Structure 1
């Protein structure tokens, strides 16, 4: 949600209050003030309710209003940093058809893998793991023989912004530590033994079982 959109309800609140004040102009002073204040209070309550509902869908986090607003994200300056580009590439090719939450969720999976010892320790390493093996890599776009170019400008800008936000330290709160995902059109064998943590659009997210080692 851009700043203009956040302020729009405030404008409505003021307009309603002013309208009430105008309508109350012919009433006794005490009644006029009561009517005006009542209208203003109701309008401001509606504004607060509007902002809260946006902030709590699906998260109860007011700071997420801008973070999960695609119209705001696409206005961010683009980054040419290699790590940002690698993460943006994966977001673009794996999830550009999903809404902004689904794209953030894919970013979470990649960053969760970076933190684990059984995956490469960098974003680029994770998204390009086994890319040299045709149709046998971790993320299908990286080894299906097709171009990795991000040719849709809007989707490319959004993916780049999401990558920047996540690499900047935004909390990973959508997938509960997921390390894998697949579309609902396939049924990989590993999904039978992994714990499903979330679904966004056509993507299902899973957390792989923790491997305990004995001393």
Structure 2
């Protein structure tokens, strides 16, 4: 699959919105979750096509919801601090280029423990990793 500059940019912005407070390890885990969706083996994936398609799929990554406080930064209405964006770009590039192994064990889902209640899908999914304030899962029905 060809990865475009837009794919790299959207993935980095998604990492900013979803995991900037989780350090490099947390950003890599979130990026791998997205990569696992991109590489799901389906010709026409429900998740979307490519990194940008997966990240921008409605209702999948809350940071892209128009009411989310991260959205003005992701959409370009406000500038992401350059140092933070650079860290997100490094994490995105490492995962896209396959330079780091998947720490999530094939996860396609995660959620932040800061949520007041776990998503319903988590009850029957297999937890693969706990890292920082994120729980990662695969085999989600």
TM above 0.5, yes or no, is yes
Alignment of 1:3-22 (within 5 A): none
| Larger-gyration structure (1/2) | 1
Alignment of 1:129-168 (within 5 A): 129-130=57-58, 137-145=59-67, 146-147=71-72, 148=74, 149=76, 151-168=80-97
TM superposition shift of 1:171: 4.1
Question: 1:198 and 2:120 equivalent?
Answer: no
User: How many residues end up aligned between the 2 structures?
Assistant: 125
Question: 1:84 and 2:8 equivalent?
Answer: yes
The answer for unaligned runs of 5 or more in structure 1 is 1-79, 131-136
TM superposition shift of 1:185: 2.0
Preserved CA contact (<8 Å) 1:110 1:179: yes
Counterpart residue number, 1:208: 139
Question: 1:184 and 2:113 equivalent?
Answer: yes
Q: TM-score, normalised by structure 2?
A: 0.81
Q: Secondary structure at the match of 2:18?
A: helix
Deviation string 1:91-114 (CA, Å, 9 cap, x unpaired) is: 111000011101100000000001
Taking the aligned partners of 2:21 and 2:112, their CA distance within structure 1 comes to 12
Taking the aligned partners of 1:199 and 1:164, their CA distance within structure 2 comes to 23
Taking the aligned partners of 1:119 and 1:170, their CA distance within structure 2 comes to 23
Counterpart residue number, 2:24: 100
Taking the aligned partners of 1:159 and 1:178, their CA distance within structure 2 comes to 20
Counterpart residue number, 1:175: 104
Taking the aligned partners of 1:200 and 1:98, their CA distance within structure 2 comes to 8
Deviation string 1:107-163 (CA, Å, 9 cap, x unpaired) is: 000000011233212100000002xxxxxx100011133312452222100001111
Post-superposition, which runs of at least 4 consecutive aligned residues in structure 1 deviate over 6 A? none
Taking the aligned partners of 1:173 and 1:138, their CA distance within structure 2 comes to 20
Question: 1:127 and 2:127 equivalent?
Answer: no
TM superposition shift of 1:205: 0.5
Counterpart residue number, 1:20: none
Deviation string 1:171-206 (CA, Å, 9 cap, x unpaired) is: 433000000010112211111011000011101101
